[in-house]
A and B are shown apart, each in its own frame.
Chain A
């Protein structure tokens, strides 16, 4: 046991280090008082926006993991596919002025096309790449999923080129709302509201419909569900359909917030959203939403709150560092997540 204690010491040191950085950084920032209230509001709003997008992506991870016990490594690329499809609709609509004059119709068209694209890619992936691994235990499915992710990225690169394309920015989204003297950019508010609406819809589908009930049953115990007459294949397809649709929407939002699309764009948000899903307890749908918002907040507020106070130059470059550290800390110290996963006893 002596050696094991040494490991524990290291783990505790790691915990203390992170806590020390957070506390010291926060104190430092508060003492320095470099940011005014408007800037903090900006950080928080941006955190909520990006968090809403992470939450949508995390839902896809969590649902697929719940049903198949598979980390769908390619999920971030479904997001990318949605963003690309949306781009090829948004671009001509913007040029013809349609998007400026009919924001609702235009956004509707963009979202519908991107959802169709992401969903069909998700379904194809499931059918071709994942279904043969349904009963396989071990690393093979994960490696296959990594392969799918690469294949999709490079396919899009081949089809549309490797250059970064800039998303159109219609006039109506450039304005901002004024609330109590704070400027809230319209894109951010729009993304948050729409994302919450879509996620609410998804939650209702999972909770209230027959198919959603079947999905929860399969997540609980696949074999028992099959014995009860549930068509597991149908449930899996339905899961990928929901996840793909959410990924498509998230892709469009992500592209509207960051104003660009390129073939590798799905990777980082994908990994972060996986972290969010684990944070909320994988397999747990409200947990994934909460995890997404939490991650977005930490990532957006973190550089200013924790790192700036330590005197680190250009803390925004280290935004991903914060997100990945959170991801790793969760995987190490609380793999069951904040809310507890729904099938804790299932995972060996």
Chain B
């Protein structure tokens, strides 16, 4: 009993954090089902349900769920007596109304704790229920959440085909969001589908005996790629813009992946290469006083990439002998130096200082200008595809194996005859090439470059996405960019909270799943081999993976 109360209180503390930071109110303003359930309420329920599931059996689950609502109820009570908004800007009357459901304090708290208890009970029941039930409920609930949260986008997409599926749209959506009957329909349909597909899949898997993970994954990756290619053309320029950003981060992620994931060199100054690529393109093409030339974009792009490689090698040379965590700080210092110089008056005659460089033209193919976000997205896609091919070949090459040896143990690698200097410089240089390419496209996308676009935050973003995806794994990079860049971009109001989310993601991933969501095969094998012996690996994988 004490354990379940403690679990509940810990989860509740998390809920209070969300409330105080302001996330809860923001989520509250996004509804899932119009007039019935908001995203904020859903999150509170999920927190209580999670506490219940963690507590285990039904009765402790009930207690844990109720306990998870207590901290937030206390917060509501405190808010009703003390005006806190002058210090904590998020604790507004609107939040108070949300927490108490506009029922007044006593009734509101009662409902909160009651709902928490029910959710906790449900969570506990779900945990002990057979897989078949869970396989239907989870995908169904997720589908409803997606359909509700992104209703604006989905409706916009559906409206393009209004005459053929207009009735369908009106059944599911009202003009302001998901309708209750639509939610039930989606839940039932997706739940049933997942049930059927799941059981078919399992029967097949049992028949084939050896489950072919590789092929299964290839199919999924192929599907995802198809969606990526077709979606922007079908869905319009907003999605195109989001996906274009995702594509740029995929490019950078693949670059950093060579350095961190394969070679084990934790580089926090990665944004500098991105900046070099962007500024080179700007200086070579812009219609501005600082420009050195007025080349076409296609001439400027290779120069940008080459220059980035040069800077990468230059970057790598002095820090060759620096290892591990010192390397992280040293590269971060290098990145900051680049930013300080670009921003200063000292370099202003060349680089434009804080005002940046404006009027970078869009690339042209013959007479066709790649001006719209969708066409630029396809440019990014092609660049990413080429880069992915290069990265994939590198990974399986002699050099790639040398990098992995380097990552696992530098001294042993050297003893085995691997040229440390060459391998490390190649890692920096090639990683920089990817970032330079991304920077070059970025410059033409926003048609201007400012030093403030190249903050350390970008390095951290890229690091976060390869960690979420799985270090050293190419599909992981794609997955990580979609989850960490695409999703927050779609939930526009989420913008300012995304770094909070990144911070939490870094901590949680390192603790629970250091190999990432889509680990590379090599990593996976290493981690499973390491289940018994303590992995003394230079990567993130020293925590043994949970057996699956």
Tell me, yes or no, whether A binds B.
Answer: yes
Residues of A within 8 A of B (CB): 3-4, 7, 10-11, 14, 71, 88, 129, 132-133, 135-144, 146-155, 157-162, 267, 271, 274-275, 278, 312-314, 317-318, 320-321, 324-325, 327-328, 331-332, 335, 348
B2 at the interface (CB under 8 A from A): no
In the assembly, what is the distance between CA of A23 and CA of B217, in Å? 61
B415 at the interface (CB under 8 A from A): no
Chain A residues with CB under 8 Å of B336's CB are 271, 320, 324
Q: Which residue of A lies closest to B507 (CB)?
A: A147
Q: State the majority secondary structure of interface residues on A.
A: helix
Whether B333 contacts A271 by the Cβ 8 Å rule is yes
Chain B residues with CB under 8 Å of A71's CB are 325, 328-329
In the assembly, what is the distance between CA of A123 and CA of B328, in Å? 25
Chain B residues with CB under 8 Å of A14's CB are 318
In the assembly, what is the distance between CA of A101 and CA of B47, in Å? 49
Interface size of B in residues (CB-CB distance below 8 Å):
66
B162 at the interface (CB under 8 A from A): no
Most chain A C-beta atoms within 10 Å of own C-beta, residue among B87, B318, B334, B496: B318
Whether B340 contacts A149 by the Cβ 8 Å rule is no
B346 at the interface (CB under 8 A from A): yes
A151-B321 CB under 8 A given contacts A138-B538, A327-B333: no
Whether B329 contacts A143 by the Cβ 8 Å rule is no
B326 at the interface (CB under 8 A from A): yes
Within 8 A of A (CB), among B209-245: none
Whether A139 contacts B539 by the Cβ 8 Å rule is yes
Chain A residues with CB under 8 Å of B343's CB are 317
Most chain A C-beta atoms within 10 Å of own C-beta, residue among B340, B419, B503: B503
Q: Which residue of A lies closest to B341 (CB)?
A: A321
Give which listed residue, B87, B344, B500, contacts A158 with CB less than 8 A. B500
Chain A residues with CB under 8 Å of B21's CB are 154-155, 158-159
Whether A332 contacts B321 by the Cβ 8 Å rule is yes
In the assembly, what is the distance between CA of A220 and CA of B334, in Å? 32
A54 to chain B, nearest CB (A): 15
B266 at the interface (CB under 8 A from A): yes
Whether A158 contacts B325 by the Cβ 8 Å rule is no
In the assembly, what is the distance between CA of A210 and CA of B543, in Å? 34
In the assembly, what is the distance between CA of A318 and CA of B343, in Å? 9
A278 to chain B, nearest CB (A): 8
Whether B502 contacts A147 by the Cβ 8 Å rule is yes
B314-334 near A? 1/0 per residue, CB < 8 Å = 000111111111101110111
B88 at the interface (CB under 8 A from A): yes
B34 at the interface (CB under 8 A from A): no
A-B contact pairs, 29 of them (CB 8 A): A71-B325, A137-B538, A138-B536, A138-B537, A139-B264, A139-B266, A142-B325, A143-B540, A144-B510, A147-B504, A150-B499, A150-B500, A151-B503, A152-B503, A158-B23, A158-B496, A159-B22, A159-B88, A267-B456, A312-B346, A313-B346, A317-B344, A318-B346, A320-B336, A320-B340, A324-B336, A327-B329, A332-B322, A348-B323
B506 at the interface (CB under 8 A from A): yes
Given contacts A143-B540, A158-B90, 19 further A-B contacts (CB under 8 A): A138-B536, A138-B541, A139-B539, A140-B514, A140-B541, A146-B463, A146-B506, A147-B507, A150-B499, A151-B503, A154-B499, A162-B496, A318-B340, A318-B341, A321-B337, A324-B340, A328-B318, A328-B333, A335-B326
Residues of B within 8 A of A (CB): 17, 20-23, 87-90, 260, 264, 266, 268, 317-326, 328-330, 332-334, 336-337, 340-341, 343-346, 419, 421-422, 456, 460, 463, 467, 496-497, 499-500, 502-507, 510-511, 514, 534, 536-543
Most chain B C-beta atoms within 10 Å of own C-beta, residue among A71, A157, A271, A331: A331
Most chain A C-beta atoms within 10 Å of own C-beta, residue among B333, B421, B500: B333
A277 to chain B, nearest CB (A): 11
Whether B536 contacts A137 by the Cβ 8 Å rule is yes
B534 to chain A, nearest CB (A): 8
In the assembly, what is the distance between CA of A157 and CA of B329, in Å? 24
B498 to chain A, nearest CB (A): 9
In the assembly, what is the distance between CA of A133 and CA of B330, in Å? 23
Whether B499 contacts A140 by the Cβ 8 Å rule is no
In the assembly, what is the distance between CA of A316 and CA of B22, in Å? 37
Q: Which residue of B lies closest to A282 (CB)?
A: B326
In the assembly, what is the distance between CA of A162 and CA of B87, in Å? 13
In the assembly, what is the distance between CA of A158 and CA of B88, in Å? 8
Give which listed residue, B90, B500, B504, B510, contacts A143 with CB less than 8 A. B510
A156 to chain B, nearest CB (A): 9
In the assembly, what is the distance between CA of A142 and CA of B505, in Å? 14
Q: Which residue of A lies closest to B266 (CB)?
A: A139
Q: Which residue of A lies closest to B22 (CB)?
A: A158
B480 to chain A, nearest CB (A): 14
B25 to chain A, nearest CB (A): 10
A136 to chain B, nearest CB (A): 5
Chain B residues with CB under 8 Å of A152's CB are 503
Most chain A C-beta atoms within 10 Å of own C-beta, residue among B332, B346, B502, B534: B346
Chain A residues with CB under 8 Å of B319's CB are 328, 331-332
Identify the 9 closest CB pairs spanning chains A and B, nearest first.
A147-B506, A150-B503, A158-B21, A151-B503, A154-B500, A147-B507, A144-B510, A317-B344, A314-B345
A135 to chain B, nearest CB (A): 8
Whether A144 contacts B506 by the Cβ 8 Å rule is yes
B23 to chain A, nearest CB (A): 7
